Amino acid sequence: MTSRKKPTTAEELKADIENHPERGKLNGDDVVAFDKVEFRGNVPREIYRLALEVGGALGDDKSTILVKALEEYVIRRLELLERSQRIKSKKFGVDELEIRSKTFGAYKAKGRAKKANLQAGDE
């Protein structure tokens, strides 16, 4: 049996999920999102100017510059995130994935839906 090469980019991952619909799901729900969200904030003028200058030299637009900057920010700090999750999981005696889902807020939608159902039942 040959080992499959795991996708490393978003494009490869999207193609892999399209070719194998069972992948990218957890309990039948999609766990990989390819949609985009808006990211707003204030940036010091000099950093903004330099980012446009460097990005322009590379042929990047503002969105690409921001995506690359965020990727770099996240990649450099993943080890800290994982360490924090390990510490919390040991402290509270739960799985690291549970810590991550609560940190990210994945449980909120379920809680809101449950609360709405309870309130609808009271009426």
pLDDT of residue 103: 62
Does 112 lie in the same domain as 80? yes
Does 22 lie in the same domain as 76? no
Does 89 lie in the same domain as 40? yes
3-state secondary structure 18-44: HHCCCCCEECCEECCCCCCCCCCCCCC
Does 12 lie in the same domain as 69? no
Q: What is the pLDDT of residues 89-116, one digit of tens each?
A: 888 888 887 777 766 655 556 666 666 7
Domain membership of residue 107 as a residue range: 36-122
Does 83 lie in the same domain as 43? yes
Q: How many domains does the chain have?
A: 2
Does 52 lie in the same domain as 111? yes
Does 40 lie in the same domain as 29? no
Does 40 lie in the same domain as 27? no
Residue 24, pLDDT above cutoff 60: yes
On the CB side of 44, how many CA atoms lie within 13 Å of its CA?
3
Does 63 lie in the same domain as 7? no
- What is the distance between the alpha carbons of residues 19 and 13, in angstroms, rounded to a whole number? 10
Query: What's the predicted TM-score (pTM) here?
Result: 0.51
Residue 10, pLDDT above cutoff 70: yes
Instruction: Name the DSSP class of 94.
Output: -
Residue 44, pLDDT above cutoff 90: yes
Computed over every residue of the chain, the mean pLDDT equals 81
Does 102 lie in the same domain as 47? yes
Does 59 lie in the same domain as 118? yes
Residue 32, pLDDT above cutoff 80: no
